[in-house]
Structure 1
Amino acid sequence: MALLPRSSRARYREYRRLLQQRRREGGVDASAHARAADIPRHWRNRPPTRSFLRLLVEFWRLLAGHRATIVMSLITGGIATLLGLLPLYGPKLVFDHVLGSVPIPRALPGGIPVPQDRHALLAFVAAAMVLLAMAALVVGLHSRWQMTRATKRVQVGIRKRVFDHAVHLPLHRVYELKSGGVASILREDAGGIAELIFSMLYNPWKAIIQLAGSLMVLAFVDWRMLLGSLAVLPVVYLTHRTWIGRIRPMYRDIRMTRQQIDAHATEAFGGMRIVRSFSRQRGESARFTISNHLMARQELFAWWWTRGVDIAWSVLIPVATAALLWYGGSRVLADAAAVAAGTLAQARALTVGDLVMFLAYLTALLGPVAALANSATMLQNNLAGLDRVLDLLEEPTEMPKRPGQVRVDRNSVAGRITFRRVSFAYPRSRRAGESAEPPPVLRDIDLDVSPGQVVALVGRSGAGKTTLCNLVARFYDPTAGAILLDGTDLRQIEVESYRRLLGIVEQDTFLFDGTIAQNIGYGRRGATMDQIIRAARLANAHEFIARLEGGYEALIGERGVKLSGGQRQRLTIARAILADPRILILDEATSNLDSESERLIQASLHTLMAGRTSFVIAHRLSTIAHADLIVVLEAGRIVETGTHEQLMARSGHYREMVELQTRPVQAPAVEDQPDPGHEVPVGK
């Protein structure tokens, strides 16, 4: 498989080539993209872009619960827009009746009386323009406040919905998205959807109201000049048809690149100990910089496409205004001559005031159209975010509720776990573009675990021990066979209620950025401080907690970085003890402890496992000799079962592993050692 080009310029050239290929194929990704080994997966596996109408319908569904507020804001916004158009009539009165020689009318359209004195008329027009402007400002401010408040509420609601959906995705999809990628979708994509309320609803609505009002006034002034001003609209349509259809896929790709950057940054800082231990700070920095350079090139490329709309309007508006000014000025001069000659009535003549008012309303007409054209690029950017959020929301959740499922609790179950010819293969990864089905990890597992029995799972790395425990925790369902709890298939049990029966302590400890009490209390909702302290004592953690500044209120940092490995492990054990589980899973639970702590915690674990169905994974076989049943796994199959004494009496896999661990380690032969003067090649 070819490696990705290292430089951002080379990767950008490949991206441009992909864009051209998309356009040739009608904008829909084809299988040929997935076969391009030198194109990043998040470009070539991009789902087809939804139509604008589909996005509009989905967006309206997301506004449920806020539609009444949004509609009222649109109504008041429309009123504010109409009020803002009325002052534009003032210049006509001033130019025609105050500064010109046209007689002052008795009343304005609508029967509004006007002063017959020119100075009084000037003061009346000025006062009316100020009052109307203030009224438009107040109503418009109220409208925009209501819409902004609705926007923030929608934003919170969408982010909550996306987060709730993401935490219920199948586990393999969560791993594929990565924590930084999910954060990018929540922050950038879900957060930007709410801005569509302005770019898709509020601003277009106000523009339509202003457009309609201006058209009515312009038609009243001179319909021929109106037709001339509308001649630019076909040019606008062609411009948008050419540009806009290509902008949204670009913004979608930019957002996907940003997601990859966020995921990489989160990964790099999460593994900073490894980065520094291998002195790879410069390499990680270069990788981050190259990706940012690539995104900058993508953004600049999209910028030029979006500027095409601005350039078109920057040319069209001055040309159209100049042409109409020339035509209108010529009409004013011709009509004035006709009125002086007595061949045209004054009421039918185009006056200077008419021309000034026409140009003012023409600006009001072209202004919203130009604003819509300029904001169309932002609209496409937000639509790209909506498109990506819908991709996530349309993914199936992990083990959704089904009719007929039962709820369980600690008091209603005994804890008997039965495997009936269980086989399992991990789901196919979307990101890898795999076509073949993954090979099975577990094959034909038959196992019956009695309530309260301690089962130790042993075997070489990759034998399937952790996978079997993942099935017990129901992080996955078997691809064949069934797992039963007290005779009931786990698929017939509501997954949330079942997992409340579990307590899990893994080798890779995970703690939240908070206090010690909060991390231990995570094991049980509403736990009291006395219960937390008792769990810490059982896990041999109380003494070191008491020595910390702040005690149980001490902050431990992200993932517990302020604690040692053994201290972190003891906190996770205390969390499991507090949960008081019916079924316990210990995955190398004592792997990070010193000898003294391990001795003390082994006694605590014996107390914890008493009366609970327990699955214990351990590579140090001396720690599981007490188990009621030892299950030996090899290549996904059970090859031996029995107690420690029974298995040692056989000459099988278990005895071989025990003897291998207890056998003294011998130094390699001289001929097997590398020559000190010979440089051993290291993979780059």
Structure 2
Amino acid sequence: MTHRNLSSRQRYEQSPLLRGKSGLPEKEVESDNPQRQVSRQRSLLELYRELYRLLARHRGMLLGSLVLLSLAMAMKMIVPLTMKLAIDTILLRQSVPVWIPPWVPIPSDPKGQLVALFGMVLMFATLGIGLSLLSRWWITLVSKRTHIKVSRQAFEHASRLPLHRINQLKAGGMTSILRDDVNGIGELVMNLVYIPWRASMQLLIGLVALILVDWRLLVCSLILVPTVFFSHRLWSLRLRPIYREIRGERQHLSAKTTEIFGGVRIVRAFGRQRSEVLRFVQSIHFLTRLELLGWRWGRSLELLWEFALPLSSGLLMLYGGLRVLDGYLSPGELMMFLVYLVMLLEPIALLSNSFTQVQGLLAGFDRVLDLLAEPREAALNAGGVKLSKNDVRGGIRLDRVSFQYPNSTAVVLKEISLDVKPGEMIALVGQSGSGKTTLCNLIARFYDPSQGTIQLDQRDLGSIDIDNYRQLLGIVEQDVFLFDGTIAENIAYARRNATPHEIEQAAKVAHCAEFIESFPDRYDTMIGERGIQMSGGQRQRLAIARAVLADARILIMDEATSNLDSESEKWIQLSLDDVLKGRTSFVIAHRLSTVRHADRILVMDGGRIVEIGNHETLLAKGGRYQEMVALQSLHD
């Protein structure tokens, strides 16, 4: 029974998290869910190591921030000491402590001593505030710069993932990782480094002060040790897996929402609004159940600390009071002890209150590391050869090429061998699923062959720098994708430094200048997301203009004229005759009339080339191509 058929309660009750299992092993596993293919739970030490690696360029500023913070905490911890001096030395007229050097000027008048003590407190407090402010500024810079660095790394890495993996993650899911999880890394620097360091320094100084007052006071504080250990185990085994699952569910929900609104016309056309709302609400219910589960465990941890802290402080106060009554401690020492006690427990309370937030941030960091651990496009090769457009002739050779998609056993291309001369126009025809688009995807190096080789001008594509190679390509797909921007920006996407004149010339070649000139803003007209304000034919012609501007050596056109009316198609064909001259081109066509002038036509079936020749030769042969032409003529 799939998740689609389960209610939110059934999914929740079947969750391994509810049964006390982490849901994720300590080692990398293959997941049944394609959106969570790489999944492993890293230990806290591993996450610290990874964060330390990411902070490589900012470690100096980070260290400076922590040093300043330590000095600021030291200034803060001096203040309770002045209370002992005020009570014992000034008010109770006890002798000056032996640890004060004799060269320190001390007024003889008690009032003067109080004023001097006030001045000392003010000086140390001001110095501490200044150091703390500078420390906070430096750690904020480190946090923001780390966020920018990781955002760039994650976005660049995600854009380099294999196409099948990007399709599995989906646009909304990828957005969730890049927006929510990556954004939390900047906060993680603060919550995993700065705040724990501040708490540790304050705790250490407080413990030292308690030892100096009475070492037995330290024994009472040891009650917190098992609480700290239990909290860490609860973090790792329960809380973090829950928050990781919550973020994964948010990613799935974001991806599904993006998909629904991307296909909102289909949803409305089939009257599925109610069912999609129901699916959305079920996902929200399941997410809420997970969040409540996390809240219950987080609250249990908070209750543990809410009990441990008063118990520890109560024992310390009881012992300290008894020591004063027995004459072993002075009133000033008791006052200093109580203030240090508050300072000792403050960082522990601070850490306990941030447990839940930290676990959410750690889960997001874990997911970002999973993304960065994904293998990049197989075609990416360090030190690949870079070619100049002027040196590329455009000859393509396929030698016994076979291919099957990742995670699939079906072979979609079988033993394809083809030698394409420079400047030759190759048309690919055949039924849907025959392998036409897959073959063009291999030529574009969106995938690498499972077997066999592809060469450009007798050079293996695997030896050519992938980015450099794709600059030699111009691609027009059947499903045209345009960006939310102006017409000029979309045409110039192929060449960002193109001049307005070059953009207009490309538009004229693609026969779209006429409708562009009819808009009030002409080339500055906003076309909306995915070109929603354009008709299908207009979007197709803009895509052709984009390919024309690329000045490619190899053109790939996948049903490039499929959305054009007969009149526009005629003008496009006349324009493309000039564009295709001197360029190697692969044209996938459903309308056979658009490829009758191709140098060669490949008839594909079942992942194989079953016929090859020009239009006249294939018609005379009387095979599959002749049947397709006859069938299409009958329908026309």
Residue equivalent to 2:14: 14
Contact 2:397/2:455, CA 8 A, preserved across alignment:
yes
CA contact 2:379–2:462 (8 Å) conserved in 1: no
1:601 to 2:580 alignment: no
Shift of 1:158: 0.4
Q: Which amino acid aligns with 1:544?
A: F
What is the aligned-residue identity percentage?
A: 48
User: How has the CA–CA distance of structure 1 residues 664 and 302 changed in structure 2, closer, same or farther, with 3 Å as cutoff?
Assistant: closer
* 1:138 Cα deviation after fit: 1.5
Larger mean Cα displacement after TM superposition, 631-640 or 619-628? 619-628
SS for the counterpart of 1:65 is helix
Q: Which of the residues 459, 462, 466 maps onto 1:495?
A: 466
Deviation for aligned residue 1:320: 1.9
State the shift of 1:417 in Å. Answer: 0.9
Distance in 2, Cα, partners of 1:200 & 1:23: 22
Residue in structure 2 matching 1:537, options 496, 508, 533:
508
Answer whether contact 1:513 1:560 (CA < 8 A) is retained. Answer: yes
Alignment check: 8 A CA contact 2:379 2:448 kept: no
Tell me, yes or no, if the aligned pair for 1:409 and 1:500 is still in contact at 8 Å.
no
**1:420 and 2:420 are equivalent in the alignment:** no
Moved more, 413-422 or 191-200: 191-200
Q: Does 72-81 or 629-638 show the bigger shift?
A: 72-81
Q: Distance in 1 between matches of 2:463 and 2:406?
A: 21
* 1:91 Cα deviation from its structure 2 partner: 2.4
Which residue pairs with 2:345 in the alignment? 366
Listed as ranges, the matches of 1:119-518 within 5 Å are 119-335=111-327, 349-399=328-378, 401-402=380-381, 405-428=384-407, 437-518=408-489
TM-score by structure 1 length? 0.89
Aligned residue in 2 for 1:676:
none
* Aligned equivalent of 1:587, options 548, 558, 561: 558
Residue deviations 1:111-162, cap 9 Å, x none? 6444343333333333332332222111101110111011111101100011
What residue in structure 1 maps to residue 73 of structure 2?
A: 81
Aligned residues of 1:309 and 1:374 also touching (Cα < 8 A):
no
Q: Secondary structure at the match of 1:448?
A: strand
Larger mean Cα displacement after TM superposition, 544-553 or 375-384: 375-384
Residue pair 2:20, 2:238 contacting (<8 A) in 1 also: no
Judge which range, 105-114 or 317-326, deviates more. 105-114
Aligned to 1:53: 45
| CA-to-aligned-CA distance 1:511-539 (integer Å, 9 cap, x gap) | 11111111111111311010001101111
Say if 2:24 and 2:41, in contact at 8 Å, map to a contact too: no
2:100 corresponds in structure 1 to: 109
Q: CA contact under 8 A between 2:66 and 2:135: conserved in structure 1?
A: yes
Call closer, same or farther: CA 1:194–1:390 in 2, change over 3 Å. Answer: same
The 1:405/1:24 distance shift into structure 2, 3 A limit, reads closer
For 1:682, the equivalent position in structure 2 comes to: none
What is the TM-score when the length of structure 2 is the normalising length? 0.95
Amino acid at match of 1:566: G
> Which stretch has the larger CA shift, 495-504 or 262-271?
262-271
Q: Aligned partners of 2:437, 2:381: CA distance in 1, in Å?
A: 27
Q: Which amino acid aligns with 2:19?
A: Q
Shift of 1:242: 3.7
Aligned equivalents of 2:531 and 2:29: distance in 1? 46
In the comparison of the two structures, how many residue pairs are matched? Answer: 635
Find the aligned partners of 1:125 and 1:278 in 2 and give their Cα distance. Answer: 81
Worse-matched range after superposition: 576-585 or 62-71: 62-71
- SS at the partner of 2:397? strand
Q: In structure 2, which of residues 574, 580, 583 is the aligned counterpart of residue 612 of structure 1?
A: 583
Q: Does 1:64 align with 2:56?
A: yes
CA distance, structure 1, for counterparts of residue 550 and residue 224 of structure 2: 70
- Distance change >3 Å, CA 30–CA 423, structure 1 → 2: closer
CA contact (8 A) 1:22 1:28 kept: no
Distance 1:496 1:240, change over 3 A: closer
Question: C-alpha separation between the residues in 2 aligned to 1:488 and 1:290?
Answer: 54
Tell me how far 1:498 sits from its aligned partner. 1.1
Matches within 5 A, 1:2-41: 2=2, 4-15=4-15, 17=16, 19-20=18-19, 22=21, 34=32
Change (3 A) 1:110 1:279: farther
Could you give the per-residue CA deviations for residues 202-251 of structure 1, whole angstroms, max 9, x where no partner exists? 11111222122112211111111222223332333234324443211111
Aligned-residue offset at 1:439: 0.9
